[in-house]
């Protein structure tokens, strides 16, 4: 009997903590419903960090409340920084303003930078440059 009562108390406490997190998220101006499920790992990491910082909760407890995997919360990317590559691509794009990502990719390869075309396209798109020339609203 005491185990059932303890479980019920824990469930009510978890519900209360979820409401607190939703209220805090609503005050900070997060888009969408406060009861919307957190789907991306980055958003989950942010939510766990918020619970730990504002409510003094342990990592295990915060992950349990949010139903998050602790490995995903602790994950740190090992991807290399592409700062030099982005700088080189920006330099080429400024020299050859009419060239799209495909032609810039060819120029990068001629200079010895061996990357995947899709990575060139991704960096090009993140910079906010248009691809497609006149069809995309160019002169």
The residue that leads in pLDDT, 131 or 52, is 52
Report, as an integer, the average pLDDT of 98-119.
Answer: 91
- Tens digits of residue pLDDT in 45-101: 999 999 899 889 999 999 998 889 999 999 988 888 888 888 999 999 899 888 889
The position carrying tokens 């980055």 is: 42
CB-CB contact of 119 with 96 (8 Å): no
**pTM of this structure:** 0.47
Question: Considering only CA atoms, which of 68, 54, 58, 45 is closest in space to residue 20?
Answer: 54
Report residue 50 as tokens: 């918020």
CA distance 52 to 47: 9
Task: State residue 26's pLDDT score.
Answer: 58
Report residue 97 as tokens: 């303003």
């Amino acid at each position: 009997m005491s185990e059932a009562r303890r479980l019920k108390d824990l469930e009510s406490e978890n519900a209360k903590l979820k409401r607190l997190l939703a209220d805090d998220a609503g005050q900070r101006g997060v888009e969408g419903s406060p009861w919307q499920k957190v789907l991306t790992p980055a958003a989950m990491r942010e939510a766990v960090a918020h619970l730990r910082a504002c409510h003094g909760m342990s990592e295990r407890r915060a992950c349990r409340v949010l139903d998050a995997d602790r490995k995903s919360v602790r994950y740190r990317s090992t991807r290399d920084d592409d700062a030099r590559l982005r700088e080189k691509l920006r330099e080429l794009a400024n020299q050859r303003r009419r060239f799209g990502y495909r032609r810039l990719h060819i120029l990068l390869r001629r200079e010895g930078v061996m990357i995947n075309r899709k990575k060139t396209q991704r960096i090009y798109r993140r910079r906010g440059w248009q691809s497609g020339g006149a069809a995309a609203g160019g002169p």
